[in-house]
Each structure stands twice: as structure tokens, then as C-alpha cells.
Amino acid sequence: MRLDYFLAHSAGLSRKEAKQLISRGAVTVEGEVRPKANLQLRDGQGVWLHDQPVQLPGHRYLMLHKPAGVVCSTDDPEHRTVLDLLPVALRQDLHPAGRLDRDTTGLVLLTSDGQWSHRLTSPNHQCDKRYRVSCADPVSDEDLQALRDGILLRGEDSPTLPAKAERVGVDQLLLTIREGRYHQVKRMLAARG
């Protein structure tokens, strides 16, 4: 990795700012004063800015309780986003790993690690997603069994994968799914009336 690229990403600078600091002698590499901006760094090679060591930041993983009315997006012109709930200094490079509907509350994971996010959200990795659902009407044994068997949603050609469904109150259930179809939980329950 080039020194100017490394410095820009580790110190939150533009490439131009990094090059200026390097040319002014504010940067050293393993004791080498005034290295060139295009110097290719080796793994583990120490870099100092103003006599302070710098290193690339690692990926970040945050847990956030999303309130109703907030969207799971990085940008939305009409609604508050999950990133709007964070201090500005924490927002850089974060995105939600998965989504909850705007009117749904609960745990949202935010990360700067795209590969990790993909492993959580891709149906191919079959990562369980658990929801506590409050229904307008009581949940019957037949409703639970239908959720466990898989439900053909309106406009779809194949039923949902079997879900884990457990009643925790007359009108409440814990529902665990492995897919992430559009409004899947709401549509599964709507299909049951």
C-alpha cells in the first residue's frame, strides 16, 4: 500500500493533505525522514505522523436499538436514518447489516465490514433472524404450524422457508426466519389473517 494512501486512511486526511504532510517532513517510516508519498509500505512497517504512531483503523461493529420512525438506511431525504442516531464522528463508513421496517423497533447491527455484513444478510449463509411479534388478534395453533411449514406469500412463486414459531402470549410470538424477503414477517402474518 502506498504511504499517502495509508496516511489518508489512517489519519482521516485527503490524499492531497497526506502528500503535503509527507513533503513537509511531518511523516517518518521506520525512522526514514522525508519518505516519498508513493513509497510502498510492507506489512507491519511503522509510520509516524508528528512523532505519533498511526495505523489503519480496523472494522467497526455497533449494536443499536432502532426506534419506530427511523429507517435502516445510510441516507434518506424524508426520514431519520439509523446513522442519524449516532454522533457524527462514528458515522463514517458504517452501514446497517440488514434492515428493519420503519415502524419496527429492535436491534440493528451497524458495521464498516462489508464481508461480515454479507455473511449475516445473505440467504446463502442461513443466518437466523429473530423477531418478537405483537399481533392484533390471538395466534392460533394452526397459525403457528403454518409459519413452521412455510407460507406462500402474495405475488411469490415459492413458499417461505420453514420458520421457528413460538407463542409467548395470546397475541405474541417469537418468529425466527432465515430469509429476508421484502416485509417478510408482516406478509407472513398477513397471509394468516
Report the sign of the C-alpha dihedral through residues 136, 139, 140, 146, in that order: positive
**Rounded Cα gap, residues 144 and 37, in angstroms:** 63
Active-site residue, from 101, 103, 141, 143:
101
Residue 173's Cα: distance from chain center in Å? 26
CA-wise closest residue to 178 among 115, 144, 131? 131
Q: CA torsion 108→166→135→182, rounded to 10°? A: 50
Cell 489519519 -> residue: 11
Residue 157 designated active-site: no
* CB atoms closer than 10 angstroms to residue 177: 20
Q: Give the DSSP per-residue string, 2-22.
A: BHHHHHHHHHT--HHHHHHHH
Residue 149, φ and ψ in degrees, nearest 5? -85, -25
Tell me the backbone φ, ψ of residue 11, rounded to 5 degrees. -110, 5
Active site residues: 101
